[in-house]
Structure 1
Amino acid sequence: MMQEASEAQVREELAALYRLVAHFRMTDLIDTHISARVPGDKHHFLINRYGVLFHEMRPQDLVKIDLDGNPVDPGDAESQVVNAAGFTIHSAVHAARHDLACVVHTHTADGIAVACQRDGLLPITQHALRFYKRLGYHDYQGIALDLEERESLVASLGQHKAMILRNHGLLAAGSSVAEAFVNIYYLERACQAQVKAQAAGVPLVFPSEAVCERTAGQYERPTAPIYTQRVWTAARRLLEPGLETAAGASAIPA
């Protein structure tokens, strides 16, 4: 009974994360995906039913599958369809990184723009320094339909919680749904700021390596989980009736 309640909570939080990603304009129609590990020892995870828009995601729209891609719950074939590339990416991470409970993958314009740059994410903003030397890079191999790519995806991620998929997009994860949200939000904001700074066409200012490392370490201080939970709780209020519409203008990337 306790396990069922835990899964219900994960479903509710994951559906909320989908809607928040939509709120912050990080969607790509029905493509891209977010997954969360189901509590327990059966190595199941939840991912979006293919065809459901992020802003309309409900707990019951999430499909529970195993690491081989088999649906776990009963249902007709159409209700169990998931994005094939999404399965490749998310099953790779969930199989290899048991410390990560949630994985987010996006195709935003700014994320893709940075993913196309040889030097990737530059250490030029406070948001970017959250990921200083804590960011994996994965070379593009085509649409991720080949399950053999899972091994290289895991190798590229290493022990990080975020990764740039070159020529493709962004990936961020966390030990909770809340942490995954915080990581994808700030990775996206870092990419947005970089693209805008580069567009100005003037020399960029780079902090010293010592300052970069110190700042990255500050993001890992013992109080970080408290901050993460506060952000998650506050962000979820944006989904409350009335507030979502009222805050809509601020959701457009600056």
Structure 2
Amino acid sequence: MSAVPQAAARMHPDEWRSRVQLAAAYRIFDLLGWTEMIYNHITLRLPGSVSGGDQQFLINPFGLHYSEVTASNLLKIDQAGRKLDDSPWPVNPAGFTLHSTIHGQVEGAHCVMHTHTTAGLAVACTRSGLAQNNFYSAQLHDMVAYHDFEGITVHAEEGPRVLRSMGGKPLLILRNHGLVSWAPTLPLALARLWTLQRACEVQLAQAALGPAIPVSEAIAIRTTTESFQFDQQFGAGQDVFDALVRRVDRIDPGYRQ
């Protein structure tokens, strides 16, 4: 019997589907170059059919590179970050403090993603933040919040301040630190984060060329409204996610184990 049926047989099918989806996301991040050695996290809340109504989440094992994450080695943890399975891998407390706050207090925060990409961090270090001057940032009007740097996010007391900074917005720039995205689905969180990442990449490249042409607020509002990639009617990122999963499967389908 293969490893996949053996692992899947030990758990609820909805948990296994969540594990495969999240493991695929880690491999997608690796494919896109959004990794940070063994650090940073994508977390996913398990459905009630699995948890019985308790708050349970999946997170990457601390010590593994994103390219090593599989469906079966993902950790199942509770709201406090305690392991609920017998995995030998530890949980990174700095990793789940921020995620726990968002999962626990923001309605609809089913998936939370955090990155330290060069472009994202560079924009996070600027006083003005994200510039409304390119095709991608124009799709994020009034969707991005900011939180001032308080050091490594290991202290629970920072949580309420993070939530106040977010103000319910689905994207967060942690100043001097990195980017955060949350959404009711993993594909939508990815679509939003990808758009913010592209906006940061363009801003970083454009900065060397001199003053940029600003996008007016009226145009940005209209562009955001017409950006179909976030719309449930057009899949809310699911089609993009599926395309990236197919690409990962062609490279190495081992994440499904």
Residues paired across the two proteins, number? 239
Gaps of 5+ in 2: 1-8
| 1:242 Cα offset (Å) | 4.4
Match of 1:206 in 2: 214
Alignment counterpart, residue 11 of structure 1, candidates 5, 15, 19: 19
Query: What is the aligned counterpart of 1:217 among 203, 208, 225?
Result: 225
Unaligned residue ranges in structure 1 (runs of 5+): 245-254
Tell me the residue number matched to 2:237. 228
Alpha-carbon spacing, 1:150–1:206, altered in 2? closer, same or farther (3 Å): same
How far has the Cα of 1:227 moved from its partner?
5.2
For 1:20 and 1:32, locate their aligned partners in 2 and report how far apart those are by CA, in whole Å. Answer: 14
- Which 4+ runs in 1 deviate beyond 4 A? 220-225
Q: Matched residues in 2 for 1:243 and 1:87: separation?
A: 28
The 3-state SS of whatever aligns with 1:130 is helix
Residue in structure 1 matched with residue 80 of structure 2 by the alignment? 68
1:84-233 to structure 2, matched below 5 A, reads 84-200=93-209, 202-219=210-227, 222=231, 225-226=234-235, 228-233=237-242
Q: Secondary structure at the match of 1:52?
A: coil
SS for the counterpart of 2:159 is: helix
Length-normalised TM-score, structure 1: 0.89
Structure 1 residues 223 and 102: alpha-carbon distance in aligned structure 2, compared to 1, 3 A threshold: closer
- Post-superposition Cα deviations, 1:21-64, rounded to whole Å, max 9, x if no partner, equal 01000111011111000111111111111011011210122111
2:250 is aligned with 1:241: yes
Aligned Cα root-mean-square deviation (Å): 1.9
Contact 1:52–1:61 (CA<8 Å) still a contact in 2? no
**Shift of residue 217, structure 1, vs aligned partner:** 1.3
Query: What is the percentage of aligned positions where both structures have the same residue?
Result: 34
**8 Å CA contact 1:162, 1:172 repeated in 2:** yes
Moved more, 210-219 or 13-22: 210-219
TM-score (norm 2): 0.88
1:222–1:140 distance in 2 versus 1, CA, 3 Å:
closer
| Aligned partners of 1:237 and 1:243 also within 8 Å | no
Which residue is 1:249 aligned to? none
The Cα offsets for residues 108-167 of structure 1, whole Å up to 9 and x where unpaired, read as 111110000111111111211222111110100011111111111122222111110000
